[in-house]
Chains A and B, each alone.
Chain A
């Protein structure tokens, strides 16, 4: 492969990893802000999104330049196309983190009523892990870690569905709390969407590494272990 293209790909890798780190940090901060009801931290998350948006545009332009000037093929082509898509997913994750941060102020003013079994810690823990693993998979081009992310998504979906049922029930019982409950549900939904984007990233990593497109399929690259 041409040295110039190799350098260009390394540059893209640095750029997408820098963006990934920034998005991971901001998502982490948004989750912490909601857990600790920290308005200042939430404001910082919203502020930092501008930087992420700019980086997303930079990565996209760099990808397009590389495609136009170097006509990459095989792994190089898959890599650049996957980076373009991962770039998009990271930017969306950052937007969802902002959505979560925007709920903090409301939740500070309105304490959650007792009796809503919103398992926020369990959900955030899983989403954090998924995002981290999807980025680890990207760093190491490791389809096995990517596969773990795909599987964890089912668990996050389950928690979100339970949350939905709880909120529905609670609204029936305490209609006056509807605004609060809808906001809680929104946090859960945003977390669930972050998990979905982490899965997209993981699937793109599998595409980079192996060339298989696994979207919309339940096929697992690595056979499931009995306990999972």
Chain B
């Protein structure tokens, strides 16, 4: 994976303790604009965010009952001088599907990639705060990132099977861990492919190339590969955005089927996808979590006006 990095001259780098500069206009004339153009009540929080003020996120009580698999604690992230995540505090519940929604650039992918430290690969990144995976620190000193990533699975926007057979794709993680027992490998392969709802379609062609499958099948192969290692959390970054509606439907069914057994954190552009396939939804905007609660509540009676406006398509 490559991604554009905003390389800033080093003198502009902000220390994690410093204040972020969110647009140049933010600090100018703080009292002027509300007088000139009265802001509608519904936009108060958004206006406050635009002014660079702190906005507390609203977490529904239902989440307090959940056992967390990942805990995000006061997490802040800067790309060079640009602050991308602001004081994120979130519990990702165990055995449930949690969706991150929000307009482009709101930080949902950044947050997701921070969970398995994929952002470490980007230059000029600064982080303050921590995350815990089943109570183990993710950003603590001395954490072995490779060992950490073995405990998580990741599925990307575009399917990325390795140029090898379907069988080898699925058992790849066991192979690199040195597993040689044929029986074990075959069991894991079948179990994972069944888990990814792909077994029936490929059981007679396990030794054909993974690249010979259709787009939707390739994505399910990637999910099978991800769950073969029995990850503690499965991270999905827009797993359906490159698929047609039928393949998307299959992946959504699969996500629902995997919930309970696996903990899933999914980023999606598609609000309907979040509504159809997740148990909890967090609405993010400009690097903040605005509201986080049960998907049903977010889509039927959100507590924040901003969430209501976003899910109804009034802005974003």
Contact of A4 among B253, B299, B300 (CB under 8 A): B253
Q: Decide if B272 touches A65 in the complex (CB within 8 Å).
A: no
CB-CB under 8 A from A71, the residues of chain B are: 272, 275-276
Q: How far is the CA of A70 from the CA of B295 in the complex (A)?
A: 12
Shortest CB distance B310–A (Å)? 14
| A4-B256, A4-B276 known; A69+B295 contact, CB < 8 A | yes
CA distance A64 to B299 in the complex (A): 10
Neighbouring A residues of B215 by C-beta, 8 Å: none
Size band of the B side of the interface? 10 to 19
**Per-position contact with A for B141-181: 1 when CB-CB < 8 Å, else 0?**
00000000000000000000000000000000000000000
- Residue in B closest to A71 when the chains form the complex, CB atoms: B272
Q: Quick check: is A3 within 8 A (CB to CB) of the other chain?
A: yes
Known contacts A69-B275, A69-B276; A2 and B296 CB within 8 A of each other: no
- Give the distance in Å from the alpha carbon of A26 to the alpha carbon of B21 in the complex: 68
CB-defined contacts of B296 to chain A, threshold 8 Å: 65, 68-69
- Assembled-state Cα–Cα distance A5/B252 (Å): 11
- Whether B275 contacts A2 by the Cβ 8 Å rule is no
Q: In chain A, residues 122-170, which have Cβ atoms closer than 8 Å to a Cβ of chain B?
A: none
Per-residue CB contact flags for chain B residues 241-281 toward chain A (1 = under 8 Å, else 0) read 00000000100110011000000000000001001110000
Instruction: List B230-250 residues whose CB lies under 8 Å from chain A.
Output: 249
B272-310 residues at the A interface, CB under 8 angstroms: 272, 275-277, 295-296, 299-300
Given contacts A64-B300, A65-B296, A65-B300, contact A70 B253 (CB under 8 A): no
Within the complex, the shortest CB–CB distance from B283 to chain A, in Å, comes to 15
CA distance A3 to B276 in the complex (A): 10
8 contacts between A and B (CB under 8 A): A2-B249, A3-B257, A4-B276, A65-B300, A68-B275, A68-B300, A69-B299, A71-B276
Please name 20 further chain A to chain B contacts, defined as beta carbons within 8 Å, in addition to the given A3-B253, A68-B296, A69-B296, sorted by A numbering.
Answer: A1-B249, A2-B252, A2-B253, A2-B276, A3-B257, A4-B253, A4-B256, A4-B276, A5-B276, A65-B296, A68-B299, A69-B275, A69-B276, A69-B295, A69-B299, A70-B275, A70-B276, A71-B272, A71-B275, A71-B276
